[in-house]
C-alpha cells in the first residue's frame, strides 16, 4: 500500500485597492500583508519534510510559495494550470459596496443557474482538474512523501467537497478556506482517505466589520 499527503495551501492577501474581481487576470500580486503571510507559512513548513512543490501559475500563488520554496532548494517548483483560479464571467469587474456588477443587465444571463454555476467554470470541471492535480502531486511526492500545492479558494473548496462526497452548490461566504489556510488530503493507493484543515496564519487575517475576513479568490 502506498500513501502520500498533499497539502493544498491558499495564497496570501492580494494587493487590490480597487476591489476588482481579479480571477485569472495578470498583475495581481501579494499585498504587504500577503507577503507577511507567505513568510509566516515558510516558518510553518520549515520543519515539514516536503518532497514536492507545485503551484498555480498566477502571480499571487507563486509569490506565496516563494519563501517556502527557498527553504527547499533541491525541490523543483512545478507550475500546474489545473490548480489555477476558477474561470469567472465577472472577472475584471468591480463590485463595490452596492454590488453594482450584479445589477448590470448584460450579466443577468450569467446568473441564471447558481448550481452550475452559470457565471463561471462548472463545479464538476473544477473538481476533475483539481483531483487530477492532487493525484499527480501525490505520485510526485513519493510513497510516504508530502507535497505542497498553492492554489485558490474556490478550487480548493470544490476539491474538498468532492473528496468528502458533498454537494458542490454552496454559499461562498461559508467556505472554510481562509487566506494561507491549508487543506490536506491523505491518499492511500491513489484514493483520498482523509481531509484535514488548518489555519497557521489565522492571527494575520484582516478584520472587516468586526470579524475575520474570509471571502476572496
Any idea what the CATH number is for the domain that residue 36 is in?
3.40.50.1240
Q: pLDDT tens digits for 66-100?
A: 999 999 999 999 999 999 999 987 777 776 565 56
Identify whether 149 is part of a domain. Answer: yes
> pTM for the whole thing?
0.90
- Domain assignment present for 164: yes
| Domain count within the chain | 1
Q: For residue 174, what are the domain limits?
A: 3-86+122-212
Contact (Cβ atoms closer than 8 angstroms) between residue 133 and residue 182 = no
Q: Is residue 101 part of a domain?
A: no
With respect to residue 115, please indicate whether it lies within any of the assigned structural domains.
no
Q: Is 104 part of any domain? A: no
Q: Per the domain annotation, does 95 fall within a domain?
A: no
Per-residue model confidence (pLDDT) at position 216: 45
Structural domain contains residue 28: yes
Amino acid at each position: 500500500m502506498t500513501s502520500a499527503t498533499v497539502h493544498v495551501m491558499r495564497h496570501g492577501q492580494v494587493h487590490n485597492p480597487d476591489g476588482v474581481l481579479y480571477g485569472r487576470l495578470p498583475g495581481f500580486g501579494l499585498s504587504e500583508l500577503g507577503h507577511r503571510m507567505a513568510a509566516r507559512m515558510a516558518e510553518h513548513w520549515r520543519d515539514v519534510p516536503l518532497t514536492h512543490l507545485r503551484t498555480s501559475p498566477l502571480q499571487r500563488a507563486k509569490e506565496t510559495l516563494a519563501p517556502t520554496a527557498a527553504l527547499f532548494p533541491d525541490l523543483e517548483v512545478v507550475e500546474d494550470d489545473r490548480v489555477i483560479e476558477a474561470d469567472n464571467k465577472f472577472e475584471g469587474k468591480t463590485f463595490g459596496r452596492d454590488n453594482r456588477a450584479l445589477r448590470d443587465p448584460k450579466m443577468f444571463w450569467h446568473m441564471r443557474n447558481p448550481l452550475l454555476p452559470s457565471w463561471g467554470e462548472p463545479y464538476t470541471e473544477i473538481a476533475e482538474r483539481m483531483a487530477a492535480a492532487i493525484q499527480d502531486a501525490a505520485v510526485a511526492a513519493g510513497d510516504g512523501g508530502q507535497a505542497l500545492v498553492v492554489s485558490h479558494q474556490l478550487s480548493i473548496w470544490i476539491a474538498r467537497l468532492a473528496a468528502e462526497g458533498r454537494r458542490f452548490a454552496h454559499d461562498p461566504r461559508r467556505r472554510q478556506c481562509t487566506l494561507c489556510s491549508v487543506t490536506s488530503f491523505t491518499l492511500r493507493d491513489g484514493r483520498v482517505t482523509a481531509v484535514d484543515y488548518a489555519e497557521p496564519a489565522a492571527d494575520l487575517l484582516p478584520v472587516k466589520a468586526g470579524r475575520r475576513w474570509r471571502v476572496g479568490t
